[in-house]
Chains A and B, each alone.
Chain A
Amino acid sequence: MSFVLTCPNCGVREVTDFAFGGEVTERPKSRPSTRELNTYNYFRRNVAGVQREWWYHRSGCRAWFLAERDTRTNDVHWTAMPEAAP
């Protein structure tokens, strides 16, 4: 696996600069059922395709940001701070 990501603060960097935060999941808004809670805690969709995900610029500015990436090709369509994300 090798590709580049554009940190919204720092610019283009190798993927090894970053920590992967996984796909963006929705934390339940109110008290979930056991099933909903377990799904939230333990299940991931793991799509083969375009995915919205979290990245952390560990070896850089230490900001969390969002990215949209095609997990099949590692094409990164965009990256953005959460408040600016499409």
Chain B
Amino acid sequence: MSRLDPQPGERVDRARVISFEFDGKPVEGFEGDTIGSALYASGQRTFSRSFKYHRRRGLLCCAGQCPNCLVAVDGAPGVRACTEPVREGMRVEHMNASPSLDFDLMAVTDRVGSRFTPPGFYYKTFIRPRRLWPLYEKVLRNAAGLGRLARAAREEREWRTEYRRRHCDVLVVGGGEAGLTAAIEAAESGADVVLVDEGLEPGGWLLVDGSVERARELAERARAAGVEILSNAPALGYFDGLVPVWQGSTLHQIRARRHIFATGSLEQPLVFENNDLPGVMLSTGARRLIALYGVKPGRKAVVANDNGVADVLRAAGVDVHVAEADVVKAKGRRTVTAAVLSNGETIDCDLLVVSGGFEPANSLVRQAGANAEAVGEVAASAQCPVPSAHREARGKAFVCYCEDVTAKDFKLSVAEGYDSAELSKRYTTTTMGPCQGRMCGAAASRLIAEETGQSLEGVGTTTARPPWSTVPLGALAGRPFEPAKRTPVHGRQREQGANMLWAGDWRRAYDYGDPQGEALSVHESAGLIDVSTLGKLIVRGPDAGEFLDRLYPNRFSNLGPGRVRYGVLTSDAGRITDDGTVCRLDDDTFYVTTTSSGAGAVEQWFAWWLADWRMDVTLTDVTQGLAAINLAGPRAREIMSRVCDIDVSASAFPYLDGQRGRVAGVPSLILRIGFVGELGYEIHFPSAYGEDVWNRILEAGADHAIRPFGLEPQRILRLQKMHILVGQDTDSESNPYGAAMPWIVKLDKEEDFIGKWALERAVQQPQETALVGFTLPNGDVPTEGAVVLNPDGGPMGQVTSARHSRQLGRTIGMAWVPAALAEDGAGIVISDEGRTLDAEVVTRPFFDPDGEVLRS
């Protein structure tokens, strides 16, 4: 154990021991420890294996800034050990080493691999021969990346994040002395202030340099002034004024009028041979271990570029040697054992403390579009040159730890012409690792400057881009929002054996296992289908009739109260957008149904024109407030009469009537429409009674062998009647003339209506193709989408629907065919995945073409 005596202001509570697991072995730490500090205190030096060469890496920054200590916690990869608090029983595992952290087979790449993985190896080594790429890709994919998401974690999706939106006057990013002071000032002058800080508690460097009291006092004052402080909450980027902040299971989206970035500075490493060996540590990292966790970072330290750290180390009982010359090499196999200086000295040590000066952490300011310039202390320290030690390096001197890019790689890429920060970034992938260039951006720019003889300004830095802090993709995705709409009869249908499928947001019964049989029983006796998913709008007001006349190509203002009419909606380009029925309830009120998938769009469409025309009409969407079920078949009337309190005889309740009555005691609107081509009643009633009405009708029809039926039998039945399915039989190009519904368009309407002008033109233009029915004598059923051929053999149309009909004993379908062939008895040729099928055109409904059954 390498714990010091309790340090003033240390974060750990030595009275409370926490036990957890690292790679299966038990480890003990204290409450307040991070995984990193507890492991380091227990003697662990290697924390991870590097990305490309699988070299050992140890604690470097102890502040969540570098990539060296990424571990997996309870199956979730990419966690920074040095900032993640320990929890009792947590399972911590290494990443990117196999079979173990101490014995990693891929480490062989460190010795032989660099020849195969020069900068730009993505574009070089694995390119030829071309035909081997699939193999290369497999190997590379396996070798690439750092963590693996445990399968269980993926499947259980137990970890979810929520979004939170917060608007405020001032957002302060960074909870150090400057950030806290600014937040206090703003809040005390009346502003609504949010302060976000990536540390476990606000205070920043104050917590490390012995000013804990002052940090706590400032935080207290800030809270008292009303500042909302979010700790352990890194800001991820700046998006047009929106700053996403990740805090555990919440993604805050913070939008402020003013932003203050008090993000401090980042200590930079030095570049020399083996500068990545465990035991090489930044001065700030060593100081954090001592001050926050009371951990002694080493017994014998060499300090390169002393910035005051030597005294702190000595006070902690470390034997310190301040190097009089540049460090050119770290020696050691598993950890540092000695430092080699440029004056030839070799000094034994188990800790090599380095400091390459400080760089301002200005990414967020630059993302916000500001030009950043360092001033004051940071500017002074930033002058500190990268030692030229790397020039003599025979082994690897790393510039970019994350991506394993060495100084030598840089020289090579400059020699190949990549001589600016942006170019070398793309070529070598420097600055593209988990730390986003925090540890390498500055050194990279200096190296290029040195190699090319340009000024630092000339080399430039890479464009600042989000994310500034790494974040799990799951946090960005938020809680998956997949609405599932279930109809009021959903549960009952499941019990009755329905196979449910997605239809847009809805779950609908596809069939009950026997689509042909279900269809046939509708034809022979009776069937019941849940159509609650239909869009339902109430259009009410003195102008309601005129409003619908303007929206539909046909007329509704002359519809009598209690009557129903079919309507097709078109756009101003004359294209079919939706269809449904309209029932006039009274002079001022219309009940409009839409397709299931079009409900939202139609409401939006109606509301838009209403906003534009400003007519005296109100729109109410009752889609989910009302259930709807359709009872159809020759026995439907008899069954209706058993459950309904109004006269349903053919004379009292004729075809296309809409009447109000009670069905199974429930107040309902009953529409007598030909939904599936048989005598039928569509019953609309309050959703709460869904299952009850459904059950009562089935009971009432039991002796007629009534069956519930699903979407698939419904499609067969509707196809028999050639009822088009908008979006299936029509597309965004179809107008009512092509779709064989010229009767739906009333060009003689005196008022203007949506689509009128385009339809006036369309009616005069000969259509190239027309929508017709077709039938095949034998059992072949063409694929929907199969091509219809022109007489000359070219494609000219396609099959849009095709089903076998047991009732009719043949295949029936709808297809767009050359206009010349759109007449009864014409032969068409369908080319379907290599087969050629001969079909015959039918222009009138296959079943009950004159509607006698419907009207009966």
Contacts and interface: CB of A to CB of B under 8 A. Distances in A.
B819 interface: no
Contact of B253 (A14, A30, A31): A14
Contact of B608 (A1, A31, A34, A56): A56
Contacts of B253: 14
The interface centre, meaning the residue of A32, A37, A54, A74 with most chain B CB atoms within 10 A of its CB, is A37
A54 B611 CA distance: 10
Nearest to A64: B611
Given A19-B604, A41-B758, A82-B611, 20 more contacts: A2-B240, A2-B241, A3-B240, A4-B167, A14-B165, A14-B242, A14-B255, A27-B572, A27-B612, A31-B757, A32-B757, A37-B757, A56-B604, A56-B607, A63-B607, A63-B611, A64-B610, A64-B611, A81-B611, A83-B614
The interface centre, meaning the residue of B240, B253, B603 with most chain A CB atoms within 10 A of its CB, is B240
Contacts of A83: 614
Nearest to B610: A64
B761 interface: yes
A74 B255 CA distance: 15
A64 B608 contact: yes
Contacts of B159: none
Nearest to B238: A2
Given A19-B604, A37-B758, A41-B758, A82 B612 contact: yes
Given A34-B761, A82-B614, A4 B255 contact: yes
Contacts of B610: 64
A40 B572 CA distance: 9
B573 interface: yes
Nearest to B604: A56
Interface string A14-37: 100001010000011011101001
Contacts of A12: 167
A44 interface: no
Interface size bracket, B side = 20 to 34
A71 to B, nearest CB: 13
Nearest to A30: B752
Interface in B57-87: none
B121 interface: no
18 contacts: A2-B241, A3-B240, A3-B241, A14-B242, A21-B608, A27-B572, A27-B612, A31-B757, A34-B761, A37-B572, A37-B757, A40-B572, A42-B573, A54-B608, A56-B604, A62-B603, A62-B604, A82-B614
Nearest to B575: A41
B122 interface: no
Interface string A32-69: 10100100111000000000001010100011110000
B239 interface: yes
Contact of B573 (A4, A31, A41): A41
A21 to B, nearest CB: 7
B147 to A, nearest CB: 30
Interface residues of A, number: 29
The 10 closest A-B pairs by CB, nearest first: A64-B611, A2-B240, A2-B242, A41-B573, A2-B239, A82-B611, A64-B608, A37-B757, A64-B607, A41-B572
Contacts of A3: 240-241
A34 B760 CA distance: 11
Contacts of A58: 604
A68 to B, nearest CB: 16
Nearest to B572: A41
B356 to A, nearest CB: 36
Given A32-B757, A37-B757, A41-B572, A74 B604 contact: no
Nearest to B600: A58
Nearest to B167: A12
Nearest to A81: B611
Contacts of A2: 239-242
A4 B253 CA distance: 12
A45 B167 CA distance: 34
Given A41-B573, A41-B758, A82-B614, A1 B240 contact: yes
Nearest to A19: B604
A14 to B, nearest CB: 6
Nearest to A56: B604
A19 B242 CA distance: 19
Contacts of A64: 607-608, 610-612
Nearest to B607: A64
B724 to A, nearest CB: 23
Nearest to A37: B757
A47 to B, nearest CB: 20
B792 to A, nearest CB: 31
Nearest to B571: A41
B630 to A, nearest CB: 28
Nearest to B619: A62
A9 to B, nearest CB: 12
Contacts of A32: 757
Nearest to A14: B165
A62 B607 contact: yes
A17 B614 CA distance: 24
Interface string B229-252: 000000000011110000000000
Interface in B555-610: 572-573, 603-604, 607-608, 610
A1 B240 CA distance: 7
A74 B167 CA distance: 17
Interface string B247-289: 0000001010000000000000000000000000000000000
Nearest to A82: B611
Nearest to A65: B611
B245 to A, nearest CB: 14
A63 B610 CA distance: 10
